[in-house]
């Protein structure tokens, strides 16, 4: 997987100018880049400039109010890129206020981000993609059917975030890497994007309000645990029965359930808090008492928190949403194990914006052809 991943990692910045984008940088990154180019920069200059561009959201370097020499601005202008992803389509689901953005990179790659309304009125989270397509082929996911086209670069993820933040008057308080792609398959770029989003000179999002999901890549979970990041890791379990999980999540062929459980155990011990486990609820598949019994056997006493997400209905793959009775029974069974849980609402389903529906399609084009 590593070799294939490296082949799909763009070697050079994918920006219009070919220069690295400011949107993927923290002050120390900008400083290192400028010094490597022979510019005698200082870290305080880099902080001020990035605060203007990223935290304040103003790409016009001439509009910087903070004291910065003209020669420094010129050097940054010459040696970096500040273009955003192009917004190809913006579709709002009037039923729930979710908004899906179809975004185009300079190389033509299409990706998606989703604006998620939070409970507190007027505040938002953003669901970000980490790859164009995905290699993991989860059986209930439209993205998986695309295959992996390429990894996204950090600036592309941050640019998607800025697009959403711009139209919410800055009231974006969280970000989740749960759009197209398996975030830990693009580990370094996702961690760098999360660092930029949480930086005081960057997105200014509390690190604990940034969630990174994984379908269960064990080596990367272990690396993440060892590195001790403050972002929240969400590990997709979806079945506690090894054979069923292997049919739903083909990645389980490489990293079987036993190893995932062990990695969860290690993460829970290191994080000294509850580890979040995601469960895509598939009606009639993984919502029965056999799953509750398997959970009890494998996770008794482990500090978990459950995120239960309904698979979306009317699917070409034959999966269906659990009925209210099925869901209630399953959730009662999990609650009896003293595992706290949240039922995550996956909105935007009328506009193909919900979990497992991101496939870089234009809604209008799509709607016209179906």
Site residues (CB under 6 A) for ligand SF4? 134, 136-138, 141, 143-144, 180-182, 215, 356
Which residue from 134, 175, 139, 138 is spatially nearest to 157, judged by alpha carbons?
175
Name the minimum Å distance from CB 209 to ligand SF4.
20
Query: Would you say 103 or 134 has its CB closer to ligand SF4?
Result: 134
Q: Are 61 and 22 in contact (CB under 8 A)?
A: no
Q: Are 20 and 33 in contact (CB under 8 A)?
A: yes
Query: How far is 88 from 298, CA to CA, in rounded Å?
Result: 45
Catalytically annotated residue among 46, 134, 201, 355: 355
**DSSP per position, 268-316:** HHHHTSPEEEEEEE-TTTS-SHHHHHHHHHHHTT--EEEEEEEPPSS-T
Name the minimum Å distance from CB 257 to ligand SF4.
16
Q: Are 205 and 183 in contact (CB under 8 A)?
A: no
140, 142, 244, 292, 295 from 238: Cα distances, Å: 11, 17, 9, 12, 11
Query: Would you say 134 or 241 has its CB closer to ligand SF4?
Result: 134
Query: Would you say 99 or 138 has its CB closer to ligand SF4?
Result: 138
Q: Which residues contact 280 (CB under 8 A, 6 or more apart)?
A: 140, 236, 238, 286, 309, 310, 311, 355, 356
Beta-strand relationship, 86-92 and 99-104: antiparallel
Query: Would you say 138 or 199 has its CB closer to ligand SF4?
Result: 138
Query: Would you say 55 or 345 has its CB closer to ligand SF4?
Result: 345
Query: Would you say 146 or 339 has its CB closer to ligand SF4?
Result: 146
Residues 33/34/38/41 CA torsion (nearest 10 deg): -140
Q: What value, to the nearest 5°, has the Cα angle with vertex 48 and ends 43 and 52?
A: 145
Name the minimum Å distance from CB 144 to ligand SF4.
3
Name the minimum Å distance from CB 204 to ligand SF4.
27
Q: Which residues contact 346 (CB under 8 A, 6 or more apart)?
A: 309, 310, 312, 354, 355, 356
Name the minimum Å distance from CB 354 to ligand SF4.
12
Name the minimum Å distance from CB 261 to ligand SF4.
18
CB atoms within 10 A of CB 92: 14
Catalytically annotated residue among 86, 92, 112, 259: 112
355 flagged as catalytic: yes
**Catalytic amino acids?**
112, 355
């Amino acid at each position: 997987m590593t070799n294939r991943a490296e082949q799909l990692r763009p070697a050079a910045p994918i920006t219009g100018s070919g220069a690295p984008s400011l949107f993927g940088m923290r002050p120390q990154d900008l400083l290192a880049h400028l010094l490597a180019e022979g510019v005698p920069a200082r870290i305080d200059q880099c902080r001020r400039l990035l605060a203007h561009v990223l935290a304040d959201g103003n790409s016009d370097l001439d509009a910087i109010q903070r004291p910065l020499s003209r020669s420094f601005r010129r050097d940054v202008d010459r040696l970096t890129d500040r273009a955003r992803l192009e917004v190809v389509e913006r579709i709002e689901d009037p039923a729930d206020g979710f908004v899906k953005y179809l975004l185009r990179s300079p190389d033509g790659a299409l990706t998606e981000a989703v604006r998620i309304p939070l409970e507190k009125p007027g505040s938002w989270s953003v669901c970000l993609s980490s790859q164009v397509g995905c290699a993991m082929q989860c059986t209930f996911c439209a993205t998986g059917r695309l295959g992996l086209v390429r990894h996204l670069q950090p600036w592309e993820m941050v640019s998607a975030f800025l697009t959403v933040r711009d139209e919410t008057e800055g009231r974006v308080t969280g970000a989740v890497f749960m759009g197209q792609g398996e975030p830990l398959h693009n580990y370094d770029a996702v961690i760098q994007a999360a660092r930029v989003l949480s930086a005081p000179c960057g997105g200014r999002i509390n690190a604990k309000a940034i969630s990174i999901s994984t379908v269960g890549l064990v080596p990367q979970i272990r690396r993440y645990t060892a590195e001790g990041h403050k972002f929240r890791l969400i590990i997709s379990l979806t079945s506690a029965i090894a054979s069923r999980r292997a049919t739903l999540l083909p990645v389980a062929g490489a990293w079987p359930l036993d190893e995932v459980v062990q990695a969860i155990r290690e993460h829970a011990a290191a994080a000294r808090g509850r580890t979040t486990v995601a469960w895509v609820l598939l009606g009639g598949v993984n919502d029965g008492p056999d799953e509750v019994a398997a959970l009890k056997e494998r996770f008794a006493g482990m500090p978990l928190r459950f995120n239960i997400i309904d698979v979306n209905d009317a699917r070409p793959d034959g999966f269906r949403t659990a009925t209210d009775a099925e869901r209630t029974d399953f959730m009662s069974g999990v609650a009896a194990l003293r595992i706290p849980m949240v039922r995550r609402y996956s909105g935007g389903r009328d506009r193909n914006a919900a979990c497992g529906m991101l496939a870089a399609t234009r809604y209008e084009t799509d709607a016209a052809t179906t």
